[in-house]
Amino acid sequence: MHASLSEMAQLTLNTSFDCSDILALRSKLKKAAADGLTAEQGFTLTETIPTINDILLYAVSRVLPHHPACNAHYDDEKMTYFAHVHLGVAIDTPRGLMVPTLFSADTRSLSDISRSVKELASACQKGTINPDWLKGGTFTVTNLGMLDVESFTPIINPPQTCVLGVNNITTRVRETEGEITTYPAMGLSLTFDHRAVDGAPAARFLKDLKLALENFSLLLMQ
């Protein structure tokens, strides 16, 4: 991490999105499970209800292919781009931070991502994770929202070019057609290596991710 900070030109952009849609989806899935809807009936997500982090990972995996510079490695000389999204998922363990890789996340369903992340996290917690699953990531997501963190500066895991920090949910106010309303907002913090990615492309990735998350129900239909 010290080498990452000393050798890269790291810059962090912060934004937030209206998470009403993903919260409503999780509530609907919980109600469906309580009503007895099962995978055998075609309701796969009711058996492994995705966490907010699972939903974030799914959205990231669908948006990243449109922003190849953010799904890349930079080795001081050249950029290496990847055909698939291999997501590093930061896991807090008794042994310290571990970052297992969810390979080809862009080809996985939401239920598969949810199940696989739980398996990877369990293996990290137990200390049984295969070392091969701790490398090969092309982009990392680290979530401190459950610890009530509103904003932070995640550090890039080299040779990746970006890392996304996920923050907590806060209530914000906005004006719509002259009416003041509140909404749940979740913060996102993107750190990128300015040697490999310019500010505008990084901002466009964040903007597209925000759009995908605010319309997550529609994203699932694609």
Q: So which residues are the catalytic ones?
A: 194, 198
Q: Is 156 exposed, middle or buried (0-12, 13-18, 19+ CB in 10 A)?
A: buried
Element (H, E) at 111: helix 110-126
**What are the angstrom distances between the C-alpha of 77 and each of 44, 74, 80, 140, 159?**
45, 7, 10, 21, 11
**What are the angstrom distances between the C-alpha of 143 and each of 38, 43, 56?**
29, 27, 10
How do strand 139-143 and strand 162-176 relate by DSSP bridges?
parallel
The residue count of the chain comes to: 222
Closest residue by Cα to residue 214 from 186, 176, 178, 177? 186
